[in-house]
Structure 1
Amino acid sequence: MTTAGLPARIDAYPTRRIAGYGVRPGRPLPFGATPVPGGINFSVHSGPATRAWLVLFAPGGREPLAELEFPQVFRVGGVFAMTVFGLDEENLEYGFRVDGPFDPARGDRFDATAVLTDPYARLISGRDVWGAPPDRDRPCPHRSRLVRDDFDWEDDAPPRIPDEDLIVYELHVRGFTRHPSAGVSAPGTYAGLREKIPYLKELGVNCVELMPVFEFDEHANPRSDPATGRPLCDYWGYSTVGFFAPKAGYAATGHLGMQADEFKTLVKELHAAGIEIVLDVVFNHTAEGNENGPVISFRGLDNATYYMLTPAGEYYNFSGTGNTVNCNHPVVRGFILDCLRHWVAEYHIDGFRFDLAAILDRAPDGTPLANPPLLEQLAHDPVLGHCKLIAEAWDAAGLYEVGTFPSYGRWAEWNGKYRDTVRRFLKGDAGTVGELATRVVGSPDLYTGRGTTASVNFVTAHDGFTLHDLVSYNDKHNEANGEGNADGANDNHSWNCGVEGPTEDPDILRLRMRQMKNAMAILLTSQGVPMLLAGDELARTQHGNNNTYCQDNELSWTDWTLRGTHAELHRFVRRLIAFRRAHPVLRRPCHPGAEVTWHGVRAGEPDWSESGRLLAVTRSSDDEQIYVAMNTHWEFHDLELPSPREGGVWHLVADTAAEHPDDIRVPGDEQPLTVPGRYRIAPRSTVILIARN
């Protein structure tokens, strides 16, 4: 005898019938929907609930096929579990209804009429094609689905690149290939990104950090562009609907329910190219918002467990989005661990960047914890043992933990102090030389005992100006976001080089190009882990908008014609990356000691004064010596160079003030200086030298 084509088992039979389906008591773990011999096991946690129903749908069907109430004897503790027989897992959508007290002052917001998304759903339907008009009247707009575990990984192995060798490239899956100039067969998708892997290899990056790919609702933004009336969207995706499900709208095959396989294929091909993949994950809040937001999942299952609530039952808002996830509650900790383990085990993900990670060390009442259990568990979890863990070490309520984020020997941080210092130095602010020196050697003031790789160095990221706009705008220009230009950061530390926005002045354009090269030269010769924003190597612009979270258009998309327009910058960045990868002295994981020496205009005499605007550094190892001079002064300086080792001669690697193609050399093809021992550095420029025999 067989059931549904599977070998019969003594325990694979129903013990009763509910709504026409054979069922039996289910297993409480794992949570979610799990195929078992002859059926599917459904398990959902809802501690204070009094009743619960499993709601079954045909794919795309408006009305349920059936609703199966969980018998009370099928409940184990706070978990409702039931095995249902005779279901076709590939042609099934489901959700849950849960009843219980509605008492917001006590934190309970049960609504038995709402069909809830399974928080453990491996796939979610309803937003299968990006931008397709949603059916807002459909019961349970985000329906849960199962995914078959039949993907052939072909012995895929994570590259396991040492932290000190990483060169991170932050990108948006849709925006990277959506522009018509991308030249891919499936623009704006995981498949489209696969076609750009040769570009990533040519550029030299070895780790992509993807902005959120967990399922979210791009239609959640109610605003419109005030100039055009065009509806705006949730383009970035920092408002998660399904934590276990890849975004269907990012898949060319999403309408077929094949987004999991398409994403896995992307991961497999990135790994084959020697490129790791880090996911930007958002556990600090959910898409349910405040008390006026939709009931999607957690609010209807156990609001008081999953969210931080005030004594009056209102939502703490440390995330700036209306709610804050109660991350250090034991149930929620288990959920987050299960989620990350899922992405590592099922999708071979190499690491995670945690959005507003300071929230992850808050207690249920919002107080920062000295020893947050969630962060400790993540650091020591055996399944996550080889994962990169990167914290955005602040939140929207003012908790700023750069350098003090609980690390447990594992966590790295987005170094916001590095970003701000380099930006201020580049624009010529006084009094920045001393702090710049600390930042370019891995911020030992912040990460003593943790090493340089605790510092993820960046000058730009998705949140803020692009590199082009950093040197082209003094102020943000976010009018198109429909918030009266009130959104986005005001402290950008930017400088427009003399004209706000576009210009045809050749002198200003050359200065802007030089400033972009300066930023890249400093970043890629600093100790720590460098992170580039996708498109910065092409001088991508957002026309002064520093918060394009809602802009699914040319403002956010990578324009690939810029590769020709700004070939000079692209070539410079590509060769800088190659130079960094060729020289271990720039990638040391330990903070430097005597192997680093500082200089000013005269060798060995740095100018640490308030008026100082030039800094030079020599890094030495047994095998190599590299000298970097950074001049943000508006005047020329005749540099006295330190003496290289016996038999060594300084060779020119790069000079950001030199005309293309003499601005940078191919590694190994550097030219000896025409005047040994001296170099004339131009205003607002960076020079890199290497000592060779």
Structure 2
Amino acid sequence: MISADRIFLAYLDDMNIITVLLPFSYHHGESSSFCIMGDDEKQPLKIIKSLPIENYQKYICELSSKFSFEKQYWIFDEHGGKTDLQIGAVIRTEAFDQQFFYDGEDLGVTYKKEETQFRLWAPTALKVKLKLRKPSSHHSEIIKMKREERGVWAISVKGDLELSQYSYLVQVNREWREAVDPYTKAVTANGELGVIVNFEKTNRAKIPLPPLEDAVDAIIYETHLRDFTIHCDSGVVHKGLYLGAGELNTTEKNGKSTGLSYVKELGITHVQFLPFHDFAGVNELADKNEYNWGYNPLHFNAPEGSYSTDPSNPYSRITELKQLIDQLHHAGLRMIMDVVYNHVYIRENSPFEKIVPGYYFRHNELGLPSNGTGVGNDIASERRMVRKFITDSIRFWVEEYHIDGFRFDLMGILDVETMNEVRSVCDGLAEDTLIIGEGWNLNTPLPLEQKAIIQNQSQLPKIGQFNDKFRDSIKGSTFNMYDKGYALGNRHYFTAALEAITGSIGFKKKGTGLFNEPSQSVNYVECHDNHTLWDKLQACLPNADDEKRKKYHRLATGLVLLSQGIPFIHSGQEFFRTKQGEGNSYRSPDSVNQLDWERRSFYEETVEYVKGLIQIRKQYPCFRMRTGEEIRSRIGLLPVEVPIIGLLFHSESPAMILLINPSSATQKVVLPAGSWGVLADGNRAGLTRECVIDSGEIELAPITLNVLVKK
């Protein structure tokens, strides 16, 4: 739509291409010539092509002189009409990316007690101003910024600006917009303004941990900061907050451990928290009744305030998050941060779009924002300054907060080069940083070969991907509640399950697997998304009793823990977590989402069983082999009848056997020669041999797995 002060429209769509749109209501959309004028005299444009489009006549024109982004241009037609030349699709060209890529490490705010430097990348802006409000003032000061090289605007302000609030006023296409600094690291309540803080006040030494030798040594436990401790019987003082998630020695009413101490006892190595960078969906200043998973990102480098004791104090969220991370490290655990670089909450309101309109997001062939994420926008990670923002952000979280790993939400939206740069940045800081992501192939306008998806796993050798084939072959389709997988007794999934359990690396034939190496496969049957496994079992086994459902559940969970790859457990899965049948609880109340610590006590036997399987995985390297070649050469198949799976881990000292019986009948299996101690069966699991079986048969109880070790 044309505004009142514009007779027609003109856009710079390439470095030397200008598109002019004349409405048919204006001289029937006809003009035989166009001129451009900047600071000097008019210059003619060459009309290359003309065609009707909707209510306009579209003219594609060529500019013969070099365009400068530092001044305002006007376009004139043959009738004497004029309009301002707006920045159009040129910002999505490779030439624009090359001209304005800035590789400095000083974007955002650099605070010193005597002076603070502000730097903003805004190459298409004609004017930029800093809006600054000091703590002692009720009024904002407006300060003009100076344009420097590569589209960066900068200003240094004398004096101590600690706790001053700030934003930027940016003029693009003759419109002024106010935006928060995309690089801001501290914000006011609800992320309305950036805040200048002195991070030296929050510094603390990183607590050393033994190195993680390989990604398959990790055991991931996914939870949500509020879910983790909000339950009335969590025994936690600061329920639902950073501080609460870091409390130790908490118990429920029966004296059983809860929270962080419980997770440590379970044997987990990594705790993965759903997003805690600043997000929308929860009013930080309201009563703590609102809930959101956190996949509505506002500010990628500032912690969420609703998990802090005082959202109005910019330091509160920073120091309390750091305290939580320190507590994890003191307990010998690592933290994985769930990051959402694939989209923003509302594109039009984001700092990205306000400061450099159209640059940070992908657009389809019609010039409209693409929607592969399903939430209205896709981050254009393939653009150089978008990629830089993501890698700068990752570097900041590792260096400043000592984050140990990252889970990339909808990683398939991002490109391969960006993810490999993320890997490179992390390797330069801490090589054992774990990186995993959702490599789903989403409908975003990025060439298939560039997408960071499972199909391109060979280009992402040191990045784990959530293995949906493992998930669906073991438990049954996530999107069909009534589909039963191998662990639920469906022999039709036998072949797929065998491949999944052996690492999805082409067990029988190299090159036929989903992945090349087991460290690329994140094995799971349940996560925050979709129904819990217990709720699925309630739906697809309506006539079974709970005892049978528990057996199926324990078998599926056991296969996650004993399969080749990286095991991933959803918090509460080990005590049959339920969300009362809710399949998408992203903003459901605590009654649905909370981790019910009463179930932890009620199902103590299963908790101990899972703990025992974790001990077995940690003790015996055969359950966490490093390479696909090792798996193919060191695991043999026992001669058993379908649906039994029998794996012999040979070339081991000692040799071991994994036997799986998902059927409802007792099965007999002939064991290889020797004496075999039973570490796990349908009732117990641990490092103690419950009994010893000499060469002969073993009876496998229905719906069980068995782990045997040779004497």
> What's the TM-score bracket when you normalise by the shorter of the two chains?
0.7 to 0.9
- Flag structure 1 segments of 5+ consecutive residues without an equivalent: 1-26, 103-110, 128-139, 222-229, 362-371, 474-494, 500-506, 657-662
Residue 442 of structure 1 aligns with which residue? 503
Asked whether 1:328 is paired with 2:382, we answer yes
1:582: Cα distance to partner? Answer: 1.4
1:120 — aligned with what? 183
1:383-416 C-alpha deviation (Å, 9 max, x unpaired): 4644222121115439793253354432121111
Find the counterpart in structure 2 of residue 169 from structure 1: 221
The whole-number CA distance in structure 2 between the counterparts of 1:265 and 1:220 is 23
Q: Secondary structure at the match of 1:432?
A: helix
Question: Following superposition of structure 1 onto structure 2, how do residues 299-448 of structure 1 map, counting pairs within 5 Å?
Answer: 299-361=353-415, 372-381=416-425, 382-383=428-429, 385-397=431-443, 401-402=453-454, 404-405=456-457, 407-423=459-475, 424-445=485-506
**CA 1:391–1:447 in structure 2 vs 1: closer, same or farther (change >3 Å)?**
farther
User: Equivalents in 2 of 1:525, 1:315: separation in Å?
Assistant: 43
Distance 1:597 1:574 in 2: 27
Aligned to 1:153: 204
Aligned equivalents of 1:252 and 1:37: distance in 2? Answer: 27
| Alpha-carbon separation, structure 1, partners of 2:108 and 2:538 | 50
Tell whether the 8 Å contact from 2:275 to 2:337 is kept in structure 1 after alignment: yes
Contact 1:74 1:81 in 2 (8 A): yes
Task: Give yes or no for contact 2:531–2:582 (8 Å, CA) kept in 1.
Answer: yes
Q: CA RMSD in A?
A: 2.7
- Indicate yes or no: 2:106 matched with 1:49: no
> Are 2:134 and 2:161, in contact at CA under 8 Å, matched by a contact in 1?
no
Give the one of 683, 688, 692 matched to 2:707.
688
CA contact (8 A) 2:678 2:689 kept: no
Deviation for aligned residue 1:49: 1.0
Would you say the 8 A contact 2:282–2:306 is kept in 1?
Answer: no
Change (3 A) 1:577 1:684: same
Aligned to 1:200: 263
Pair 1:277 & 2:335 matched: yes
Pair 1:79 & 2:152 matched? yes
C-alpha distance in 2 between matches for 1:396 and 1:153: 40
Q: Per-residue deviation at 1:143?
A: 3.8
Give the secondary structure class of the aligned counterpart of 2:495: helix
- Is the contact between residue 668 and residue 699 of structure 2 (CA under 8 Å) also seen in structure 1? yes
Determine if contact 2:111/2:198 at 8 Å carries over to the other structure.
no
Q: Distance in 1 between matches of 2:153 and 2:291?
A: 34
Partner of 2:667: 637
Q: Distance in 2 between matches of 1:151 and 1:498?
A: 54
Q: 1:317/1:144 Cα in 2 relative to 1: closer, same or farther (>3 Å)?
A: farther
Distance 1:190 1:545 in 2: 26
Q: 2:230 aligns with which of 178, 202, 221?
A: 178
Q: Kindly provide the amino acid, as one letter, of the partner of residue 640 in structure 1.
A: V
Give, in angstroms, the shift of residue 28 of structure 1.
7.3
Residue 595 of structure 1 corresponds to: 634
Equivalent pair of 1:28/1:43 in contact (CA under 8 Å) = no
Answer whether contact 1:190 1:251 (CA < 8 A) is retained.
yes
- Indicate how the Cα distance of structure 1 residues 407 and 554 shifts in structure 2: closer, same or farther if over 3 A, else same: farther
| 1:666 to 2:708 alignment | no
Q: Deviations over 1:534-555 (max 9, x none)?
A: 1111212101112111114120
Distance 1:39 1:325, change over 3 A: same
- Letter matched to residue 541 of structure 1: T
Q: What CA distance in whole angstroms lies between the structure 2 residues aligned with 1:347 and 1:512?
A: 42
Q: Following TM superposition, by how much is the alpha carbon of 1:619 offset from its aligned partner in structure 2, in angstroms? A: 1.5
Match of 1:67 in 2: 142
Query: What CA distance in whole angstroms lies between the structure 2 residues aligned with 1:518 and 1:643?
Result: 27
Decide whether the 8 Å contact of 1:55 with 1:64 is kept in 2.
no
Whether contact under 8 Å (1:159, 1:276) holds in the other structure is: no
Q: Is the 8 A contact 1:654 1:687 kept in 2?
A: yes
**Preserved CA contact (<8 Å) 2:574 2:607:** yes
Q: Name the CA distance, whole Å, in 1 between partners of 2:705 and 2:429.
A: 44
Q: Secondary structure at the match of 2:492?
A: coil
In the alignment, the residues of structure 1 paired with residue 455 and residue 209 of structure 2 have an alpha-carbon distance, to the nearest angstrom, of: 29
Equivalents in 1 of 2:105, 2:602: separation in Å? Answer: 56
CA offset digits 1:574-626 (Å, max 9, x no partner): 11111211111111112313422223xxxx2x44xxxx322221223431222
> Are 2:515 and 2:521, in contact at CA under 8 Å, matched by a contact in 1?
no
Does structure 1 conserve the Cα–Cα contact (< 8 Å) formed by 2:113 and 2:159?
Answer: no
Equivalent residue, structure 2, for 1:455:
521
- Give the distance between the partners of 1:154 and 1:389, measured in 2 at CA: 23
Tell whether 2:592 aligns with 1:555. Answer: yes
Q: Distance in 1 between matches of 2:542 and 2:473?
A: 21
Q: Is the 8 A contact 1:542 1:556 kept in 2?
A: yes
Query: C-alpha separation between the residues in 2 aligned to 1:211 and 1:317?
Result: 22
Work out whether residues 652 and 688 of structure 1, in 8 Å CA contact, stay in contact via their aligned partners in 2: yes
**Identity, % of aligned pairs?**
26
Matched pairs, number = 570
1:236 to 293, 300, 312: 293
- Between the aligned partners of 1:168 and 1:313, the Cα distance in structure 2 is 41
Q: Secondary structure at the match of 1:123?
A: coil
Per chain length, whose mean CA-contact separation is higher, i.e. which structure has more relative contact order (CA < 8 Å, sep 6+)? 1
SS at structure 2 position matched to 1:67 = strand
Comparing 154-163 with 77-86, which one deviates more in the overlay? 154-163
Q: What is the letter of the counterpart of residue 287 of structure 1? A: Y
Does residue 216 (structure 1) correspond to residue 279 (structure 2)? The answer is yes
Instruction: Give yes or no for the alignment of 1:627 onto 2:673.
Output: no
Tell me whether 1:34 sits opposite 2:95 in the alignment: no
Q: Secondary structure at the match of 1:182?
A: coil
The separation in 2 between residues aligned to 1:173 and 1:299, in whole angstroms, is 30
Deviation for aligned residue 1:263: 1.2
SS at match of 1:265: helix
Equivalent residue letter for 2:171: D
State how far apart, in whole Å, the 1-side matches of 2:198 and 2:113 are. Answer: 16
> For structure 1, which segment, 186-195 or 230-239, has the greater mean C-alpha deviation from structure 2 after superposition?
230-239
SS in 2 for 1:320: coil
Aligned counterparts, 1:455-534, within 5 A? 455-473=521-539, 495=540, 497-499=541-543, 508-534=545-571
Which region of structure 1 is more displaced relative to structure 2, 235-244 or 194-203?
194-203
Instruction: Give, in whole Å, the separation in 1 of the partners of 2:662 and 2:702.
Output: 7
SS in 1 for 2:201: coil
SS in 2 for 1:149: helix
Does the 8 Å CA contact 1:319/1:395 hold for their aligned counterparts?
no
- Structure 2: give runs of 5+ residues left out of the alignment: 1-102, 248-258, 476-484, 507-511
Aligned mates of 2:369, 2:290 — CA distance in 1: 24
Q: Radius of gyration: which is bigger?
A: 2
- Name the TM-score, length of structure 2 as normaliser: 0.75
What residue identity is the alignment partner of 2:486?
Answer: F
TM superposition shift of 1:194:
0.8
Larger mean Cα displacement after TM superposition, 567-576 or 385-394:
385-394
Aligned residue type for 1:511 = K
Q: Does the CA-based 8 Å contact 1:126-1:143 persist in structure 2?
A: no
Shift of 1:328: 0.8
Looking at structure 1, the residues matched to 305 and 167 of structure 2 have their Cα atoms a distance apart, in angstroms, of 18
> Would the aligned equivalents of 2:167 and 2:178 in 1 still touch at CA under 8 Å?
yes
Q: Residue type of the partner of 1:595?
A: R
How far 1:434 sits from its partner (Å)? 1.4
Pairing 1:259–2:317 present: yes
C-alpha distance 283-216 of structure 1, shift in aligned 2 (>3 A) = same
**Partner Cα distance (1:555, 1:262) in 2:** 26
Q: Is the 1:616–1:629 Cα contact (8 Å) retained in structure 2?
A: yes
Cα distance in 2 for partners of 1:145, 1:535 equals 39
Kept in 2, the 8 Å contact 1:651–1:670? The answer is yes
Tell me the distance in 1 between the aligned counterparts of 2:198 and 2:242. 18
